Amino acid sequence: MSRLLCTLFLVFLRASYIEMTWADEDDDFIKDCTNATCGGLPIRYPFRLQTTPSYCGAPGLEVSCSAGDAVLALPRIGSCKVIDIEYRYGIVRIKLGESWAQCPLRTLSSTNLTSPIYRPLGTVGLLLLSCSKEITQVPEGIAGPISCLGSEGRFGYAAYSYYSMDEIPAGCNVDSPVSEISNYINGDYYPFNGAVQYFMQTHEMYLRVTMPVIDICTACETANEHCGFSRRRNKTYCMSGPHHGPNFKLIVGLSSGGFVMVVLAALLTLLYVIRKSARDQETRVKMLTGNLQSLQIPPKPFVSSLDHGN
């Protein structure tokens, strides 16, 4: 029994050590990676500030602070200003950078916006048209004329890609392959013409983060929790409840230590009961043996018949 008790003690002590080690790392994450802001936006996992350790965020989602703005460098898009991050849905709203300023629709038509990190949210097909004359009555599904798409003697338009060649206005040619434009704007889906107009005026775009980790983080946010990353466990997890650095480590440590103490107390009580029961049983056996011995009737003395004759 003593050997079993020692073994169980070592097992629970090991479990307590592991939880304390994880708590240390969780505390490092809370200390280094939470409560970060930039450009008036909270920056938290899977995004991180470039000035924080790499484990504070997922690769490719590093935010830098520049002139009071949150700037995100994305593949194929380049540096862009972050307007908003909807953590619950994994959506980031960006304003395109200087490289898009001259003619964003022209740049859009030559850029594949889908990457391993993100994709445009809510897209419709887009074609650029070059027309020999201005369209007098612009039909639905065609936007323009757009000055930066035109050239000398030509007028530029953006057209919804569902148009067939027969439906394209006379004197117009397709000037680009089919690309995509996002029609998700301010939580709603705009018609094609409205999406083009908004994009040209604001140079803004909505992207959905597509990294595998985002599914865990959106689930955490839906449960009113934030997600974090444990280096030892190498996994993303939900941080439930408020966290305040060292207090979190202390609570976890005390809870695991308290659990070990409760289990040990129960085992010691069980061992005491078993041993006391064994001693009581031994005492009862001795008492019963003594009583039987005291109750034994001594044998009668042998008397021969000759003695009766006398």
Show the tokens assigned to 105.
């629709």
The whole-angstrom separation of Cα 31 and Cα 308 is 110
First and final CA of the chain: distance in angstroms? Answer: 71
Summarised one tens digit per residue, pLDDT across range 185-194 is 888 899 999 9
- Residues 80, 72 contacting (CB under 8 angstroms): yes
Give the pLDDT mean for 260-278. Answer: 56
The whole-angstrom separation of Cα 305 and Cα 309 is 7
Summarised one tens digit per residue, pLDDT across range 172-218 is 999 888 888 989 888 889 999 999 999 999 999 999 999 989 999 99
The whole-angstrom separation of Cα 209 and Cα 187 is 16
- Residues 90, 217 contacting (CB under 8 angstroms): yes
DSSP helix/strand/coil, 230: strand
Query: With 60 as the cut, is the pLDDT of residue 95 above it?
Result: yes
- pLDDT at res. 231: 84
In order, the DSSP letters of 68-89 are TEEEEEETTTEEEEEEEEETTT
Query: With 70 as the cut, is the pLDDT of residue 281 above it?
Result: no
Indicate the pTM of the whole model: 0.68
Summarised one tens digit per residue, pLDDT across range 41-77 is 999 999 999 999 999 999 999 999 988 899 999 988 9
What is the DSSP code (8-state) at residue 112? -
- pLDDT at res. 89: 93
Question: Phi-psi category of 187—alpha, beta or left, where left has phi over 0 and alpha has psi -120 to 50?
Answer: left
Q: Where are the domains of the chain?
A: 253-290
Q: Determine phi and psi for 7, rounding to 5 degrees.
A: -65, -45
Q: What confidence tier does 310 reach under pLDDT thresholds 50, 70, 90? A: very low
Query: With 50 as the cut, is the pLDDT of residue 78 above it?
Result: yes
- Residues 190, 183 contacting (CB under 8 angstroms): yes
Give the pLDDT mean for 157-171. Answer: 85
Nearest Cα to Cα of residue 155 among 176, 171, 139, 178:
171
What is the DSSP code (8-state) at residue 178? -
Summarised one tens digit per residue, pLDDT across range 28-37 is 788 888 888 9
Least confident of 4-18, 39-53, 268-282: 4-18
Q: What confidence tier does 255 reach under pLDDT thresholds 50, 70, 90? A: very low
Give the pLDDT mean for 281-306. Answer: 50
165 Cβ contact partners less than 8 Å away, ≥ 6 residues apart:
174
The whole-chain average pLDDT of the chain stands at 77
Give the pLDDT mean for 298-303. Answer: 49
- Residues 199, 181 contacting (CB under 8 angstroms): yes
